[in-house]
Amino acid sequence: MTQNIFNLKRFNTLGLNAYCRNLEIIEKERDVKTLIKDSKNKFIILGEGSNVILDAPIESPFKVPVFINKLKGITVQKNPNQRVIVRCGAGENWNEFVLWTLKNKYRGLECLAGIPGSVGAAPIQNIGAYGSEVCDVIESVHAYDVNRNLAVNISNKDCAFGYRTSVFKNQTSRSSLSNFVILSVEFSLSADWKNFKTPDYASVKNILPSNPTGFEIAEAVQNIRKKKLPDLTAFPNVGSFFINPVIDNARAERLRSKFSNIPIMTFNGYFKLSAAWLIESCGFRGAKFKNVGMHLKHALVLVNYRDSSSEDILLFAEKVKASVKEKFDVNLKIEPVILSSSEKS
Ligand SMILES: Cc1cc2nc3c(=O)[nH]c(=O)nc-3n(C[C@H](O)[C@H](O)[C@H](O)COP(=O)(O)OP(=O)(O)OC[C@H]3O[C@@H](n4cnc5c(N)ncnc54)[C@H](O)[C@@H]3O)c2cc1C
């Protein structure tokens, strides 16, 4: 008997060859329940694959089905006191949605323009850039709860958002299997198309006029991202490969006394280090091992230069982590979710 096998290379921006036996594209919300039931609650769900490391080589494909979320649709729900509630299907492209909100003169997402991925994945790691986090404008997340076998509405508070994390990311990082399928996200945006806050970043401020519009902020952010980051089509990657470490005052003081030029930013009562700076200081900017490397343009971006395996990627990441640990006594944490066929499936 011949068995199907699908390569997920075009479904992950790191361009990894990763395989599964069953691939389903979800286009209708009503199909979700049946697909989950047929999978006996064991499946992997992807949006645009821009924040995952798929570890399922051909000799060990995912045994569970892989679902690709393509649930579309944008609706404006209500309009109380200059706030607009916009519900967006999880399978919409994030950047196209941001541009849609700006065209409709809704304020709130302009600093998050240019981030790859789907709308449904935005709450998972609470995407953020240029001083904005998506949790600031999420009203609620509409999801299918696999364990309770029903659709639920999860309020902003219950999403337990934190720096690059949420209740959804914590569950996915423990296992390849998903406990929730995010169906749509509700955003609370401002209909007051004035008084945009200029992001407090010199690189953005320097190219913006005074009192910029939402379009000008989004355009500036996108232009800087293009300059700063390697071209995704030529250099497959997942954006920042490591999370900027957050440390307490005692550790910050210790590091300052040893490394006088170390950049340390204050962050919600704690201190944030630049993972890029730590990696560059260990000599990894532009460094390569086999066909994997940290890009010369940005030390935090790990690139799959050509047909690397997930094993090569994770080995290289371990070298970077070990070097940073040895020099600074800081533990780097990998940002993308590792989905592995060797786990539980
Ligand atoms: C060049 C580049 C730049 C980036 N810049 C940034 C940045 O500035 N800030 C930032 O925060 N991130 C950034 N990222 C990371 C990435 O864009 C975001 O994390 C994005 O939200 C991932 O969306 P996705 O649809 O590709 O998710 P995927 O990679 O497909 O999935 C990520 C995780 O979410 C789960 N998931 C996906 N969809 C669903 C769903 N509908 N229901 C339940 N679980 C789901 C998956 O199982 C997986 O665990 C960048 C990535 C790249 C490649």
Please spell the DSSP secondary structure of 167-188, one letter per residue: HHHHHHHH-SS-SEEEEEEEEE
pLDDT higher than threshold 80 for residue 17: yes
* Among 335, 340, 341, 345, the one annotated catalytic: 335
Query: Which residue, 204, 227, 250, sits at the end of a domain?
Result: 227
Catalytic residue among 240, 281, 323, 345: 240
Q: Is residue 61 part of a domain?
A: yes
Q: Is the pLDDT of residue 170 over 80?
A: no
Q: Looking at the chain, how many residues does it have?
A: 345
Domain-embedded: residue 345:
no
Measured from CB, residues less than 6 Å from any atom of ligand 1 are 13, 45-52, 69, 90, 115-118, 120-122, 124-125, 127-129, 172, 178, 180-182, 229, 232, 237-239, 337
State the CATH number of the domain containing residue 336.
Answer: 3.90.78.10
Whether residue 15 lies inside any domain: the answer is yes
Together in a domain, 223 and 236: no
pLDDT at 1 over 60: no
Helix (H, G, I), strand (E, B) or coil at 226: helix
Q: Is residue 210 part of a domain?
A: yes
| Residues 131 and 51 grouped into a single domain | no
**107 assigned to active site:** no
Range of the domain at 257: 231-340
Mean pLDDT of 2-12: 91
172 pLDDT tier (thresholds 50, 70, 90): low
Query: 69, 91, 111 — which closes off a domain?
Result: 69
pLDDT for position 190:
94
Three-point CA angle 320, 322, 326, nearest 5°:
120
What is the number of the ligand 1 atom nearest to the C-alpha of 124? Answer: 34
> What pLDDT sits at residue 2?
59
**Model confidence pLDDT, tens digit, residues 127-166:** 999 989 999 999 999 999 998 999 999 999 999 999 999 9
Q: Both 95 and 37 in a single domain? A: no
Residue 319 and residue 269 share a domain: yes
Q: What is the pLDDT of residue 218?
A: 97
* Domain annotation covers residue 211: yes
pLDDT at 82: 83
Same domain, 88 and 118: yes
pLDDT of residue 214: 95
Lookup: tokens for 164: 């690059």
Say if 1 falls within a structural domain.
no
Percent of the chain with pLDDT over 90: 87
Cα–Cα dist 217/196, whole Å: 9
Q: What is the CATH number of the domain that holds 161?
A: 3.30.465.10
300 and 223 housed in the same domain: no
Residue 87 designated active-site: no
**Shared domain check, 83 and 191:** yes
Predicted confidence at residue 173, as pLDDT, reads 47
Q: Which two tokens stand for residue 134?
A: 């998506």
Give me the percent of the chain exceeding a pLDDT of 70. 97
Q: Are residues 93 and 172 in the same domain?
A: yes
pLDDT of 235 reads 97
pLDDT for 176 beyond 70: no
* Whole-number pLDDT of residue 183: 98
- Asked if residue 336 lies in contact with residue 51, where contact means CB atoms within 8 angstroms, the answer is yes
Q: What pLDDT does residue 345 have? A: 45
Its sign, for the CA torsion 280, 282, 286, 289, is negative
345 is catalytic: no
- pLDDT of 195 above 90: no
Mean pLDDT, the chain, whole residue set: 94
pLDDT digits (tens, 9 = 90+) for 235-292: 999 999 999 999 999 999 999 999 999 999 999 899 999 999 999 999 999 999 999 9
Q: Could you tell me which residue, 195 or 301, shows the higher pLDDT?
A: 301
- How many angstroms separate the alpha carbon of residue 323 from the centre of ligand 1? 27
Number of domains in the chain: 3
If asked whether residues 246 and 334 sit together in one domain, one would say yes
Q: Cα–Cα distances in Å, from 91 out to 11, 73, 172? A: 13, 9, 18
Whether residue 211 sits in one domain with residue 97? yes
Q: What is the mean pLDDT of residues 53-62?
A: 96
Please tell me the number of Cα atoms within 13 Å of 238 on its side-chain side.
25
**Domain boundary residue, one of 212, 227, 242:** 227
Provide the CATH number for the domain around residue 42: 3.30.43.10
Which of 20-29, 95-104, 336-345 comes out lowest in average pLDDT? Answer: 336-345
90 and 48 in a single domain? The answer is: no
Q: Are residues 252 and 209 in the same domain?
A: no
